[in-house]
Amino acid sequence: MKLLLTGDSIIARKEGLKEPRLDYTLKNKNSNIETINTAVPGINSGALFASISDLVLKIDHCDKLILLLGTNDLALHKKVPLEQFKQNMALIISSIVCLYYPNNFIMISPPAVDEHKQEKRTNSDVAAYTAELEQVANNYKIHFINLFEKMAKQGSLTTLCQGQLDDGLHFGAAGYELLADLIIKELDNNS
């Protein structure tokens, strides 16, 4: 199965590897998975919409598209208003759905953050943006993974959000294990 992974730094980070950590973890969990990763650190919904041609439409068609976005939209220092975020996400989905029908499209919420370390994002904002994102995904009948909720239920955000940057946002092995497990479960449920 060939996956197109795109979004922000959560999808793009390598965490000391030669390829993005998420790609590596997914392939280790399922040897039948191939990945193309077009994620861009720092990208928000408006910038992704402006780059949709290069990041999604011009890429060889894959079996599934996986998109994680919103982490930068909700950042206090560069916040995109919630209503604008919702509109941007609807534009992105409507631009992509011609290539990736809803059954082949998985949207992932922004992750929870360790608020003891992360100064530019709060879990209350993550929850608000996640709720809007889930509503948009439901409107388009896109598969949705609530990463925020799963991380909060999993337990220690200090452990899950501890990557090389140790900034309370970008995670290492434990966070990517959880994210990869959630993606594989969603793929298995919809194959």
151 burial via Cβ count (<10 Å: 0-12, 13-18, 19+) = buried
Going 87 to 7 to 2 to 113, the CA torsion angle's sign is negative
Compute the average pLDDT of residues 166-184. Answer: 95
Sorted by where each starts, the structural domains of the chain and their CATH numbers stand as 2-189 (3.40.50.1110)
Report the Cα–Cα distance between both ends of the chain, in Å, rounded: 10
Between CA 169 and CA 100 the distance in angstroms is 29
* Lookup result for tokens 């298995």: 188
Confidence band for 172, pLDDT divided at 50, 70 and 90: confident
* Residue 191, pLDDT above cutoff 70: no
Classified as helix, coil or strand, 113 is: coil
Looking at residue 190, its pLDDT comes to 76
Residue 4, strand partner residues: 36, 65
| Share above pLDDT 70 across residues of the chain, in percent, rounded to a whole number | 99
Tokens of 109: 């919420």
What is the reported pTM?
A: 0.96
Each residue of 108-148: pLDDT tens digit? 999 999 999 999 999 999 999 999 999 999 999 999 999 99
**Strand locations in 8-153, DSSP E?**
34-37, 64-68, 105-108, 143-145
Each residue of 54-93: pLDDT tens digit? 999 999 999 999 999 999 999 999 999 999 999 999 999 9
